Amino acid sequence: MQLNLKNPLVFFDLETTGINISQDRIVELAMLKVMPNGDTEKKVQLVNPTIPIPEESAMIHGIRDEDVKDKPTFKELAKNLAKFLEGCDLGGYNIVRFDVPLLVEEFLRVDVDFDVANRKLIDAQKIFFLMEQRTLSAAYKFYCGKELVGAHGAEADNDATFEVFKAQIERYNGMNVTDASGRAVGKIENDMGAIHQLVASRMVDLAGRIVYNDKNQEVFNFGKHKGKPVSEVFAKEPGYYDWMMRGDFSLDTKRKLTKIKLSGFKMG
């Protein structure tokens, strides 16, 4: 089937030095751009992370220091990547919690302004977990009837995710989605706006440290202030902002915190 797209949609997958968004780096990226007319363009690139690749990570994706020592750094690729992604929505598997935050962090490190605020985020894992609760290999077998050969390679995982997403839309198109309490939260449709509302609309920052509550207030999603409005916490405990800005939080999280804090000054 052909997806109903208003904007180009780029499915992407990252292989990295680890899973710490604020510290780890990209070692391989794969991108598949799908145009509204169905045309596609693919980009696959090994990346020199400029830091050592831990053996535990290399054992997963098979990429080691010697494989990337002569490859371009993210800084060298950033401007062309930003241009490739210009005006595009983003899709992938588990991208909302990991790939998108890490990609944004890499852009911020090299002073390239890459904002996802106006992009729709399409996460096939979210749909799968809402409907079936499985892994990518199981999703590929379940939806596409195929074994995933080359799992944990960026290109194989990315291509499989795109196939899974199209199969999900075909299977669930028109079906309502409910949360754990049975409350209706949306509907699966061949519409990227509807999918974005299901998988990413409640997030404030990409690491999920701040989310919107049912009143559309920005609230903390971790720690001693979980569930409390950020603006109220800052008003009662101003030092909490300073603690977070000094802490091991992503640049995107700190950027969103600062925006919330400044908006409080404007309102005052």
Q: What is the pLDDT of residue 31?
A: 98
Contact by Cβ (8 Å): 229, 237:
no
Question: Residue 238 has which token pair?
Answer: 């101003």
pLDDT of residue 201: 83
Q: pLDDT tens per residue, the chain (268 residues)? A: 889 999 999 999 999 999 899 899 999 999 999 999 999 999 999 999 999 999 989 988 999 999 999 999 999 999 999 999 999 999 999 999 899 999 999 999 999 989 898 899 999 988 888 887 578 888 899 899 999 888 789 999 999 999 999 999 999 999 988 876 667 788 999 999 999 988 888 889 988 899 999 899 999 999 899 999 999 999 999 899 999 999 989 999 999 999 999 987 655 5
Cα–Cα dist 102/24, whole Å = 8
Predicted confidence at residue 265, as pLDDT, reads 64
CATH homologous superfamily of 9-199 equals Ribonuclease H-like superfamily/Ribonuclease H (3.30.420.10)
- Cα–Cα distance measured from residue 236 to residue 228, given in angstroms and rounded to the nearest whole number: 11
Q: What angle do CA 80, 86, 88 make, to 5 degrees?
A: 130
Strand 40-46 with 26-34, pairing: antiparallel
Question: Which residues does 83 contact at the CB level (< 8 Å), separation at least 6?
Answer: none
pLDDT of res. 180: 62
Question: Domain extents for the chain?
Answer: 9-199, 210-267
CA distances from 129 to 14, 45, 137, 199, 220 (A): 20, 29, 13, 10, 24
Can you list the alpha helix ranges (DSSP code H) found in 6-135?
Answer: 55-61, 65-68, 74-84, 100-109, 124-131
pLDDT of residue 267: 53
What's residue 146's pLDDT?
Answer: 92
* Structure token digits, residue 137: 């290999």
Q: Which residues pair with 29 in a beta bridge?
A: 14, 45
Give residue 266's pLDDT.
56
